[in-house]
Structure 1
Amino acid sequence: MNKPWSGLGVYTVAFLIFLYLPALLLLLFSINDAIYVAFPIEGFTFQWYREAMAHENMLRALGNSIRVGACVAIVSTCLGLLAAQALTRYRIAGARTIMVFLSIPLVIPLLILGISLLVILTQMGVELSLLTIGLGHVVITIPVSLFVLMSRLEGFDRSIEEAALDLGETRWMTFWRVTFPVALPGIVASLLLTFTLSFDEFLLAFFLAGDQLTLPIYIWSQLRFPAKLPGVLALASMIIVATFLLVFLAEWIRRAGRRGRKW
């Protein structure tokens, strides 16, 4: 009886090691005192973090990534909330088809999507900038926002809204006082997840950035210089930790909201 489970356990451990070992090694080498990536570790230092944070271009790229990520999170969450409201509230003909259509950006390779958007924007005469990066990121984050918010709104008792309307509330105040508090955990989770996806995304930003820098593009540009490798590892380590924390927080908020707990 225990053999299948023991085999499954070995497979699970092996899979987790395969998945997370590169990230753990990256964290380890980011504090290595040597400028090359190799064992044995010569010592531990945070010098590479200090040097990485001291570069003006890096700080500019970080600021650009934060601004783009924040704008993308707000826009995609607002659009995702509207779509989730429509798909969960009303019986729309072809709702499944609409869901499949909205999910297409998740299955199209980012390389193809980036080239397609670049061609379209170039033909339209749009100058490549942080705005075009944000546009590309909104395309791939709306489906994520939609799925998160739909999972939150699908179990919502619509009779509560109807009762509020019967008592004289306007539709806007009903949404603000009744629907919004229920959807809030999903909204916060959507904001965190879409911000994380935009902040970490490289391929679309690479095609649509023009002469602008985001943090992933800056890291890629530094890989051409072997002497900059420790700083790159330090920046990548900070991104990994920040991404893990944001995703963990988003999932915790989403689960807490589904259980009806305060968060």
Structure 2
Amino acid sequence: MSLPERITVTLLWIIGTITFAVLYAPAAIVILLSFVGVKDRKLDWSDLSLQWYGKFASNSQLIDALSNSLIVGVCAVVIASTISVGLAYYMKTGARAGRSYVEFVIFLPFVLPAIITGISLLIAFRQVGIERSLITVTAGHVVLILAVIYRMVTIRLDALENSQIEASLDLGANSWETFVHVVFPQLRSALLTSSLLAFALSFDETLVTFFLVGGETTLPMRLWAMMRTGFTPEINALVSVVLCVTLLFAALAAMSLRESIERKS
């Protein structure tokens, strides 16, 4: 390796290190502060303990908000996944005449500013007499994340050869059996990856939730309300728990995707 190449590689490593430090140092600091207290603007290592995790576990408002976010996220992902797979499979095997219109309807709320989507959904629910609640929040999240799941499922289905579906039907399988035994196994990795991404988008969605939430609040809305009075150290414990769980799911998704690629190769 020549001297200019070594200098280039070294600079790239330096830039990469700085970039990763800027991205992940705040998260590392939050995790550290969930165990160690701060006194006179300095870390108080004598205060090293799990007390803030205990206080977080006993904070009913934060636990309820976290539970609501999890419920909304899971329900939104399940509903959006079902709709996405059904529509994508129909477009793959059925009439394609309305595909452009369907995709326009699905992708439009995702590309519009969130404030426009939120206000539009609020007006629509008011017109039909539906009060704001976690149900309306879930519906709003479904509208937002539908495009993500549908796009990834469609890409995977477009890569599936029609001959496989036709062969299954010719051998006597009905449409449902063909979907379960031929199509769905090839969709699982894409569906898992898109579902995790969609859940992450739903979990931290704030603006659309602001217009649709009722008496029960989600975690982002609770944290936004707490900004007025300041965060307590137990928020560090909350963020640490959410971050660790997120990294765990991301690792599981990466392993699942890797196994799927290895099986195909």
TM-score, L = length of structure 2: 0.84
Q: CA deviation at 1:214?
A: 1.5
Moved more, 69-78 or 83-92: 83-92
Q: CA deviation at 1:256?
A: 2.8
Q: Which amino acid aligns with 2:136?
A: T
Moved more, 4-13 or 209-218: 4-13
Aligned to 2:262: 259
Aligned to 1:236: 239
Is 1:249–2:248 an aligned residue pair?
A: no
Q: CA deviation at 1:101?
A: 5.3
Contact kept, 8 Å, 2:72 with 2:137, in 1: the verdict is yes
Q: CA deviation at 1:51?
A: 0.5
Structure 2: gaps of 5 or more residues = none
Structure 1 counterpart of 2:221, from 210, 217, 225: 217
Aligned to 1:14: 18
Q: Which amino acid aligns with 1:48?
A: W
SS of residue in 1 equivalent to 2:38 = coil
Moved more, 83-92 or 175-184: 83-92
* Alpha-carbon displacement from aligned partner over 1:87-116 (angstroms, at most 9, x marks no partner): 555684685676465333333332332233
Alignment CA distance shift 1:247-1:107 (3 Å): farther
State the alpha-carbon separation in 1 of the partners of residues 12 and 105 from structure 2. Answer: 36
* Alpha-carbon displacement from aligned partner over 1:60-93 (angstroms, at most 9, x marks no partner): 2222222211211111111121233245556846
Is 1:196–2:200 an aligned residue pair?
A: yes
Is 1:129–2:146 an aligned residue pair?
A: no
| Correspondences of 1:1-263 after superposition (within 5 Å) | 1-2=4-5, 3-34=7-38, 38-42=41-45, 43-89=47-93, 92=96, 99=103, 102-226=106-230, 228-260=231-263
Sequence identity (%) = 32
Moved more, 94-103 or 138-147: 94-103
Q: CA deviation at 1:21?
A: 1.9
Count of residues in correspondence between the two structures: 259
Structure 1: gaps of 5 or more residues = none
Contact kept, 8 Å, 1:222 with 1:232, in 2: the verdict is no
SS of residue in 1 equivalent to 2:43 = coil
TM-score, L = length of structure 1: 0.84
